[in-house]
Amino acid sequence: MAAYADKFSELGVKLLGLSADDVESHNAWIKDIEAYCNGCKVTDPIAADPERRIIKELNMVDPDEKDSSGNQVPSRALHIVGRNMEEVVRVAESLQRAAKGEAVVISPSVSNEEANRMFPQGYKTADVPSNKGYLRSGADPEKIASKGSTRA
């Protein structure tokens, strides 16, 4: 979000982060994002939902993943709210076109061993102040295969 704040502002897009973590966790996460994005500032609001009421009400939960306490976790997804259905369709079509061949985010629930199997060509782990290895990304192997590229 932070790296694209100016672009979203130009487009008149308003962002809201929603997290099942508390505000203290958000503040630590913001430090990581700002360090990772080379001086970007997180200026968009992040709503804390530690009781997970909002994510459950809006069905924004991962259908399979649970945290260590057995609670449902938020889906790692982008939810788009538009003024009308035509606008939402236009955004969805644009996102699908833009996604061809780009790197994907690797969920923190995926172990390093599993990520190595999923991304045999390798993946990147961001160096962040918390030293947590949760900001990982790799090229989507399915898109590489569909383009006919060879692996190194």
- State the amino acid at position 107 in one-letter form: S
Are 42 and 30 a contacting pair, CB within 8 Å? yes
Are 34 and 41 a contacting pair, CB within 8 Å? yes
Are 107 and 88 a contacting pair, CB within 8 Å? no
Considering the domain architecture, whether residues 12 and 73 belong to the same structural domain is answered as: yes
Domain membership of residue 40 as a residue range: 1-98
Considering the domain architecture, whether residues 85 and 122 belong to the same structural domain is answered as: no
pLDDT digits (tens, 9 = 90+) for 111-151: 999 999 888 888 999 998 998 888 888 876 565 445 433 33
Considering the domain architecture, whether residues 61 and 126 belong to the same structural domain is answered as: no
Considering the domain architecture, whether residues 52 and 70 belong to the same structural domain is answered as: yes
Are 119 and 138 a contacting pair, CB within 8 Å? yes
Tell me whether strands 61-66 and 72-74 are parallel, antiparallel or unpaired. Answer: antiparallel
Considering the domain architecture, whether residues 15 and 35 belong to the same structural domain is answered as: yes
Considering the domain architecture, whether residues 93 and 132 belong to the same structural domain is answered as: no
Considering the domain architecture, whether residues 34 and 59 belong to the same structural domain is answered as: yes
pLDDT digits (tens, 9 = 90+) for 52-67: 999 889 888 888 888 8
pLDDT digits (tens, 9 = 90+) for 76-100: 777 787 788 888 887 776 677 546 6
Considering the domain architecture, whether residues 20 and 85 belong to the same structural domain is answered as: yes
Identify the DSSP state of 3. G
pLDDT score of 10 more than 70: yes
* Number of independent structural domains in the chain: 2
